[in-house]
Structure 1
Amino acid sequence: MRVGLHALGIGDGARPEVIRAVAQAAEAHGFSRLWAGEHVVLVDAPASRYPYSDDGRIAVPADADWLDPLLALSFAAAVTREIGLATGVLLLPEHNPVVVAKQAATLDVLSAGRLTLGVGIGWSADEFAALGVPFTARGRRTEEYLAAMRTLWRDDVATFEGDFTRFHGVRVNPKPVRERGIPVVMGGNGAVALRRAAKIADGWYGFNLSVAEAAECVSALVEHGLAEHHANPNRAVEQPVVAVALTDATPEDLPELARVGVTEIVVVGAPPATPDEAGRWVAGLARRWLGSTGPCL
């Protein structure tokens, strides 16, 4: 069972000295991946319900610093050597897919192939409105954008014709490090999101779930064919990623979660404000979740 850490890019976790301390400590103590999420804008009085909390409200204050995840992970890549990097999640339909393909491949090259691109369809109508992107059909837009990005990563001279994006005879370089491209995991806990993850993604990232809910979601992924994932030549990895951030998990739950098919537990937290405190905070998480008593250098 891998253990990732979702702690970069927000509040004190947006400060460069804290990012450096958290990233280096996480790598030293054996965490598998650093995760960073995205919101381009937040609003004081959102019209949309946040789908990952019981009260429908996001816990992050609207005036908090929130870094772009690809840029934040680029900084983390520069101060580490081996730890994986993942967006959790980038809101793909809010972006131009040609630009995202270029940015993601750039980060993948600069990090020597360490990137996993977590994507989601988004939930905030206010955010889509601010960006001038239609809120409707964002699921179909996400699926098409992903197909277009894979075309750009695969083909030296790429052509794509869709309802939302089209290009003809273009070259987008650099290419990702891995021959099959960058692994893409799909976020979202609902039935449609799970079906989408199983059918077109390299895995799934579930967020703010109980242990029982996570097991139910993994069962649904299997029913939708995630286990046959490796036979699809469009997939970037042979074995799918099944990563979950849980609300009630303890280290004692890890064997059972592994048994039902979870491949990575993602610990979510907000780091302290100073580098020394942040390093000790990561060490404490490592002792709890990994049994680590010191840096694994």
Structure 2
Amino acid sequence: MKFALSWNTAYYGTGADQMSAIAQHAEGLGFEAIYVPEHIALSARPEPAQLALPADTEVVDPLGALAYLAATTERILLGTGVLLLPYHHPVTLAKQLATIDLLSKGRLRLVTIGLGTVPAEAAAFGVDYAARGRVADDAMDALRLLWAGDRDGVSHDGEFYSFDSLTSFPKPYQADGVPLHVGGSSRAAARRAGARGSGWFPGGRLSLPQRAELWQLVQDTAAAAGRSLDGFDHTRWGTIDMTTDDVAARAEQGVTRLVVAPTGSTVDEQRAELSAFAQRHRLVASS
């Protein structure tokens, strides 16, 4: 089992020193990765999906935050949980992700994309809320095409994005590009993960039978598409106080990575929680 840290400025604030201190501490303890979430805009008239977040909640741009964390750490992998793909143009995003991956020497390995749950956010970008899944599919295809293209350029004629003979340089650090994982607990998200994803990161409050059904759907969709799931990541949320028995139970469900977040209100409390977690689960400290 791999373990990662989630850092959400909606809960911890936007202090750069605190963010880098916790990331460096997690890296030293042996945590594999750090995830940063995204909300590009919030509604001043909160919708049901936004009720837990006041309109003035400070949620930093995840790509800017990851670029900062790349510069203040050395080994920890970088991820988004989740990046709202329908609200990013793939031509611009291809350059942004490749740049972070290049400058971090290949550490941007856990970009997890999602669709967003706030209709006002979709409306602000002119995205049909009901069509945002198809927008994401088209964007995933365009991103990978741009990263794989050479100096002769690539062309794409998708449902939402089209371009002709474009080049996009620099390329990501690693030859396979930036892996794109799929977040979400719907059947559509499970099918997207199986058909297009490098991994699957479901959230939501699902029962064990529901989770098992969706995981099977991921596997069946991959098989139907002729895709191997060797190296495929099955990521889930965990809790900072989970026991070794809890981890073993997740492993039996096919989970390969757990993402946890500290609950303490101060840096010292957060450090202590992470240290206790690392000791309990025998993480290997970085040298």
Q: Tell me the TM-score normalized by structure 1.
A: 0.85
The structure-2 alpha-carbon separation of the partners of 1:112 and 1:267, relative to structure 1 and needing over 3 Å to count, comes to: same
- Corresponding residue for residue 53 of structure 1: none
The structure-2 alpha-carbon separation of the partners of 1:139 and 1:163, relative to structure 1 and needing over 3 Å to count, comes to: same
The Cα shift of 1:252 comes to: 1.2
Identity value in percent: 35
Q: Can you list the C-alpha shifts for 1:188-223, whole angstroms capped at 9, x where unaligned?
A: 101111111111111111124467254443233223
Indicate the SS of the match to 2:173.
coil
Does 1:286 find its partner at 2:278?
Answer: yes
Question: Which of 148, 157, 166 matches 1:161?
Answer: 157
The structure-2 alpha-carbon separation of the partners of 1:278 and 1:250, relative to structure 1 and needing over 3 Å to count, comes to: closer
1:9–1:72 contact (8 Å) kept in structure 2: no
Aligned pairs for 1:113-262 within 5 A: 113-115=106-108, 116-156=110-150, 157-209=153-205, 212=208, 213-225=210-222, 231=228, 238-246=230-238, 250-262=243-255
1:215–1:257 contact (8 Å) kept in structure 2: no
The structure-2 alpha-carbon separation of the partners of 1:251 and 1:14, relative to structure 1 and needing over 3 Å to count, comes to: farther
Kindly provide the amino acid, as one letter, of the partner of residue 217 in structure 2.
A
Indicate the SS of the match to 1:207.
coil
- Corresponding residue for residue 100 of structure 1: 93
Deviates more, 1:26-35 or 1:3-12: 3-12
- Corresponding residue for residue 67 of structure 2: 74
Bigger relative contact order, structure 1 or 2 (CA pairs below 8 A, ≥6 apart)? 1
The Cα shift of 1:100 comes to: 0.8
- CA distance in structure 2 between the partners assigned to 1:27 and 1:244 by the alignment: 20
The Cα shift of 1:230 comes to: 5.6
Q: What's the Cα RMSD here?
A: 2.5
- Corresponding residue for residue 19 of structure 1: 19
Q: Can you list the C-alpha shifts for 1:62-110, whole angstroms capped at 9, x where unaligned?
A: 3221001111111111111111111111000111111111111111111
Unaligned 5+ runs, structure 2: none
The structure-2 alpha-carbon separation of the partners of 1:280 and 1:85, relative to structure 1 and needing over 3 Å to count, comes to: same
2:112–2:183 contact (8 Å) kept in structure 1: yes
The structure-2 alpha-carbon separation of the partners of 1:228 and 1:131, relative to structure 1 and needing over 3 Å to count, comes to: closer
- Corresponding residue for residue 261 of structure 2: 268
Kindly provide the amino acid, as one letter, of the partner of residue 283 in structure 1.
S
Kindly provide the amino acid, as one letter, of the partner of residue 88 in structure 2.
H
The Cα shift of 1:185 comes to: 0.5
1:18–1:278 contact (8 Å) kept in structure 2: no
The structure-2 alpha-carbon separation of the partners of 1:277 and 1:259, relative to structure 1 and needing over 3 Å to count, comes to: closer
- CA distance in structure 1 between the partners assigned to 2:263 and 2:87 by the alignment: 26
The Cα shift of 1:246 comes to: 4.1
Unaligned 5+ runs, structure 1: 51-56, 233-237
The structure-2 alpha-carbon separation of the partners of 1:209 and 1:25, relative to structure 1 and needing over 3 Å to count, comes to: farther
- CA distance in structure 2 between the partners assigned to 1:136 and 1:259 by the alignment: 35
The Cα shift of 1:14 comes to: 2.4
The Cα shift of 1:13 comes to: 4.4
**How many residues are aligned here?**
282
- CA distance in structure 1 between the partners assigned to 2:175 and 2:20 by the alignment: 30
1:13–1:271 contact (8 Å) kept in structure 2: no
The Cα shift of 1:42 comes to: 1.4
Deviates more, 1:2-11 or 1:193-202: 2-11
Q: Can you list the C-alpha shifts for 1:242-263, whole angstroms capped at 9, x where unaligned?
A: 1011479543122232233111
- CA distance in structure 1 between the partners assigned to 2:34 and 2:128 by the alignment: 31
- CA distance in structure 2 between the partners assigned to 1:25 and 1:128 by the alignment: 36
- Corresponding residue for residue 7 of structure 1: 7
Q: Tell me the TM-score normalized by structure 2.
A: 0.88
1:113–1:177 contact (8 Å) kept in structure 2: yes
The Cα shift of 1:271 comes to: 5.7
1:229–1:240 contact (8 Å) kept in structure 2: no
The Cα shift of 1:112 comes to: 1.0
1:29–1:295 contact (8 Å) kept in structure 2: yes
- CA distance in structure 1 between the partners assigned to 2:78 and 2:163 by the alignment: 29
